[in-house]
Structure 1
Amino acid sequence: MSAPSVVIAGCGDVGSRLATQLLAWNWEVYGLRRSISRLPEGVIGIAGDLFDKECPETWPVGGVDYLVYCAAATDHDEAGYRKAYVEGLQHVLEWLNDYGQAPKQLLFVSSSSVYGQQNGEWVDESSETQAQGYSGQVMLEAEQVALNSGIAASIVRLTGIYGPGREWLLTQVRRGYRVATDPPLYGNRIHADDAAGLLAFLLRHVEQGGGLDKVYIGVDDAPAPLADVVGWLREYLGVTEWAEDASVRRAGSKQCSNARARALGWAPTYPSYREGYTAILKG
């Protein structure tokens, strides 16, 4: 039996971590990005630009069993988001059609920004999407492109991804930035390795004959007030001073649930920010 094949379109940080996990299972992994020299060893590079309507010359000509679309916007405005998530996905679907390829499953990596809840509410996959800004609104539009693609598709809404190279909050804490405590601003996060691990788990579940729901939230076990996270990091790092007139600001306050993914058998390696940031700081 031949190894399953997967195209990871937008094979950046999370995509590369996913590729590494799938390679360990002897999957055939194709990674599409502009600079294929940065792909992990063993990944078959597809040098291409998701913003370009023309199919890359190195697009695989054989069957494609799975497609993971995990692009990242390069321009953080509405036009940039639409290019990355809506138009880019449309291009990839056209390329599949050009080659007569019909994957078993499409995973579209979305964001919890589609939820606009502000008051610390618990949110799951059945919660109303109340996107306030263009980012969440464009993501919802892109999700529909995936769900209407004619391919069995699941949306994976990742929360705040952190990990090596994604250390914005650590930088703010080291600078002594403050965060509001009343009312508490709940934040949600997932370590980059766990984000990739959830995608890998879902692909393997399908390959083993399982079915998927339309939507999953990718988050660790412990949504927490941002003040608690900052306080824990300050103590761990030994930060004692506060910066004047500098604060960590964020929009929204909600608590995302991973119960659906856990019910399928997935569990995060880093169940809370404590384990995740400890691993980063020790590393």
Structure 2
Amino acid sequence: MPSLLIAGCGDVGGRLASQLLAVGWRVHGLRRTVAALPAGVLPLAADLDSAVCPPAWPAQQLDYLVYSAAASAPDEAGYRRAYVDGLAHVLAWLAQHGQRPRRLLFVSSSGVYGQQHGEWVDEGSPAVAEGFSARIMREAEQLALGCGVPASVVRLTGIYGPGRNWLLDQVRQGYRVASEPPLYANRIHAEDAAGLLAFLLQADARGVALADCYLGVDDAPAPLHEVVAWLRDYLGVTAWAEAASMRRTGSKRCSNARARALGWQPRYPSYREGYAAVLAEAGLLR
């Protein structure tokens, strides 16, 4: 069975590892704290900030690489270290060992899109969002696509799931969201984010031709005020915060048509199924 290295094996990477271990893949997980890796993952302790190759780098061929890092600091320097420099380090380590994976999946973000008026967005839409995070992420995408290894960029939308409680906490505090004009938000459950990556890797292993970019999103982008209203009802929240309605920047509807055309289907097609599962797991049944 194929071998995989997940560089930046955090929440989504760990879920991906578990899914592929279940079907017999050999999975190496690279992260600073390897004690947090799922059982069965071959640990590789390393710091992506460092150019020094970890001494325990796998000697055998690596068939696939998933680069799924997260910035440790929310500033321009932190983003560059995580997404550009870190990827460059891993590519250099592969070259140092004479390893050329069959495909690289670079986990990116839908934040590269700057649409603000509820437009539908797909992989061919202009990705010209302003700000350092979008600019650096696009630079990292181009590094991945031009590195000499067949590569696909996977732009994930807002990831939610167990342990990702920001919106739930805001709703409990009476979070207000303007409803006009509607502020469209896009999301994907962490298990579906990992599932899409696993699906693409398995498709490539079967010889399916992959595109250079996929959007990772559920079937139903929805106005944020609708999501908040559903969560308020589910949680039984009746109070409102005293602060005025809050708005986020950006409003777009991301399409998963390309991934679905390949045969992928999200386990949680909308926020309703996804958040119901999250809340049930937390013991908050309706």
Range of TM-score over shorter length:
over 0.9
Q: Following the alignment from structure 2 to structure 1, what is the Cα–Cα distance between the partners of residues 211 and 223? A: 29
Which of the numbers 181, 184, 196 marks the counterpart of 2:182?
184
Work out the CA distance in 2 between the residues paired with 1:74 and 1:140: 18
Distance 1:131 1:69 in 2: 22
The residue aligned with 1:5 is 3
Q: CA deviation at 1:251?
A: 1.7
User: 1:9, 1:68 within 8 Å by CA — same for their partners in 2?
Assistant: yes
- Choose which of 251, 254, 257 in structure 1 pairs with 2:255: 257
Deviation at 1:72, TM superposition (A): 0.3
The Cα shift of 1:246 comes to: 5.5
* Contact kept? 1:172, 1:248, Cα under 8 Å: no
Residue 130 of structure 1 and its aligned partner are, at CA, apart by 1.6
**Aligned position for 1:90:** 88
**Out of 47, 51, 61, which is 1:49 matched to?**
47
Q: Among 104, 108, 115, which residue is 1:106 paired with?
A: 104
Mapped pair 1:169 → 2:167: yes
- Superposition deviation, residue 62 in structure 1: 1.0
- Give the aligned partner of residue 233 of structure 2: 235
CA distance in 1, matches of 2:3, 2:40: 13
Is the 1:120–1:185 Cα contact (8 Å) retained in structure 2?
yes
In structure 1, what residue type is equivalent to 2:59?
V
Which is further off, 241-250 or 52-61? Answer: 241-250
> Which residue is equivalent to 2:141?
143
> How has the CA–CA distance of structure 1 residues 155 and 250 changed in structure 2, closer, same or farther, with 3 Å as cutoff?
same
The reply on whether 1:152 has 2:150 as its aligned counterpart is: yes
- CA deviations over 1:127-183 (Å, ceiling 9, x no partner): 011211111111000000000100000000000000000111000000001011111
Distance, in Å, in 2 between the alignment partners of 1:88 and 1:250 is 30
1:177–1:246: 8 Å Cα contact kept in structure 2?
no
Q: C-alpha displacement at 1:249, in angstroms?
A: 3.6
Superposed structure 1 runs of 4+ greater than 3 Å apart? 246-249
- How many residues align structurally? 281
Structure 1: tracts of 5 or more residues without a match: none
- Aligned-pair CA distance for 1:247: 4.5
Structure-2 residue corresponding to 1:72: 70
Task: Provide the TM-score with structure 2 as the length reference.
Answer: 0.97
> What is the alpha-carbon distance in structure 2 between the residues aligned to residue 96 and residue 41 of structure 1?
25
The two structures, once aligned, show a CA RMSD in angstroms of: 0.7
Q: Alignment identity in percent?
A: 67
Question: Paired residue for 1:17?
Answer: 15
Partner Cα distance (1:211, 1:76) in 2: 35
Distance (whole Å) between structure 2 residues aligned to residue 248 and residue 68 of structure 1: 36
1:225 to 223, 226, 240: 223
What CA distance in whole angstroms lies between the structure 2 residues aligned with 1:246 and 1:11? Answer: 39
Distance in 1 of aligned mates of 2:144 and 2:129: 18
